[in-house]
Amino acid sequence: MAQTGDMSAAAAELPASTAATFEPLPPHPVERDVADDTADIPHPSPSAAEPQGDAIELIIEPRKGWIGIDWQELFRNRELLYFLVWRDIKVRYKQAVLGVGWAVLQPVVQMIVFTLIFGIAAKMKGSLPQGLPYSVFVLSGLIPWQLFVTSLGTGGMSLVNQQHLLTKIYFPRLFIPTSVAGGALIDMGISSLLFVVLLAINGIVPTWGVLLLPLLLALTLLVSLGVSFLLSALTVTYRDFRFLIPFMAQIWMWVSFIAFPPSIVEKWRYRWVLALNPMYPIIAGYRKTLLGNVPGIEDSMIGWHWNYLGVSVLTSVGVFLLGLFYFRRTERRFSDIA
């Protein structure tokens, strides 16, 4: 009580203007009548607010069948494949001075080197007719070969180089090596423009067989994807294959007769063994359709045989199915050992 009297006395000594500011608080908040403005707003019932239709449920389970590929899933995610292809192209030519010009410069440099070494120094241009420049002959094989060797090298290392994607998110793993072949296909289209210019300069008109180019391109993609699937899966499991891939690319190029005419082995008794290499008849098919109208050219100069192409079709399909089967069988272990 003494403390209360002291506080009253201290308040009395303050000026009137200051003392007036101290007002006792009401014991309880003053309740006022406030009109409810939301009373007229219709509120949906709980059942109406719920989404209509059945809920979508995603079930991940092993696929049945010999290979077990969900083709519907691949089709639904086709836009992802497009963006992966576009990403590979942008990464490859990002901050490059020539940009996509490297897609033309690389086969041009190889064409010049092979022409100087094999055409002029080794005098192999004498095995071709006068109306066919050695550079055109070499470039006709280099253009489809670039598609295959890119799928072989870059595609074979694609899973190892992008292992961070394998361990973090789920998406169709087949898209990774397939996107490499898609980017190489675009490079092939760019370099083909240069080849068309060379044909026009030298006055070479393709044969009616140019209508078979889509078939040859499909075979090239088929064997390229098969090799890419197989090597990419093998490289994840056995890292020794990353050292073997460059060696395979070099040997494969020589036995496909990219840099020199195959006429040097046409008299060989066991030349049919070359048909077991799917790229040999495919390269010969490109040269037959594009250079077949050159005066004096013979099928033996370019290694063209119809039966070889038939064997190549069977071999390409077999390589594709083998790569696809092994890729799917080992895909479940990619995230664990990548």
DSSP collapsed to 3 states, 131-198: CCCHHHHHHHHHHHHHHHHHHHHHHHCHHHHCHHHHCCCCCCCCHHHHHHHHHHHHHHHHHHHHHHHH
Structural domain harbouring 302: 77-337
| 2 pLDDT more than 60 | no
| 110 pLDDT more than 90 | yes
Q: Residue 45 domain-assigned?
A: no
Ordered alpha helix ranges (H), 172-271: 175-201, 213-237, 241-255
If one counts every other C-beta atom within 10 angstroms of the C-beta of residue 190, the result is 14
| pLDDT the model gives residue 286 | 95
pLDDT > 90: percent of the chain: 44
Q: Residue 49 domain-assigned?
A: no
Q: Residue 81 domain-assigned?
A: yes
Q: Number of folded domains in the chain?
A: 1
| 153 pLDDT more than 80 | yes
| pLDDT the model gives residue 18 | 44
Q: Residue 296 domain-assigned?
A: yes
The model carries a pTM of 0.78
Average pLDDT over residues 198-206: 92
| pLDDT the model gives residue 5 | 47
- In 3D, which of 148, 150, 118, 80 has the Cα closest to residue 286? 148
| pLDDT the model gives residue 1 | 44
The Cα angle at residue 235 between residues 314 and 170, in degrees rounded to 5 = 95
162 exposed, middle or buried (CB, 10 Å; 0-12, 13-18, 19+)? Answer: middle
d(CA 225, CA 219): 10
If one counts every other C-beta atom within 10 angstroms of the C-beta of residue 71, the result is 7
Q: At what angle do helices 213-237 and 175-201 cross, to 10 degrees?
A: 140
Q: Rg for the chain (alpha carbons), in Å? A: 36
Q: Residues 237, 337: contact at Cβ < 8 Å?
A: yes
Q: Residue 326 domain-assigned?
A: yes
- Lowest mean pLDDT, pick from 29-43, 69-83, 288-302: 29-43
- 178 — pLDDT class (breaks 50, 70, 90): very high
Q: Residue 325 domain-assigned?
A: yes
What amino acid is encoded at 214 in this protein? P
- Give me the chain's average pLDDT, please: 82
Question: In the 8-state DSSP scheme, what is residue 130?
Answer: T
| 38 pLDDT more than 70 | no
Q: Residues 303, 262: contact at Cβ < 8 Å?
A: yes
Q: Tell me the pLDDT tens digit for each residue of 265-320.
A: 888 888 889 889 999 999 999 999 999 999 999 998 999 999 999 999 999 999 99
- Lowest mean pLDDT, pick from 70-74, 84-88, 224-228, 297-301: 70-74
Cα atoms in the 13 Å half-sphere on the side-chain side of 177: 34
Q: Residue 164 domain-assigned?
A: yes
User: Could you give the C-alpha distances from 40 to 35, 45, 49, 182, in angstroms and in order?
Assistant: 12, 15, 19, 61
| 174 pLDDT more than 50 | yes
| pLDDT the model gives residue 91 | 79
293 exposed, middle or buried (CB, 10 Å; 0-12, 13-18, 19+)? Answer: middle
- Lowest mean pLDDT, pick from 17-26, 130-139, 152-161, 185-194: 17-26
Average pLDDT over residues 40-49: 51
Average pLDDT over residues 51-75: 67
| pLDDT the model gives residue 159 | 87
Q: Residue 25 domain-assigned?
A: no
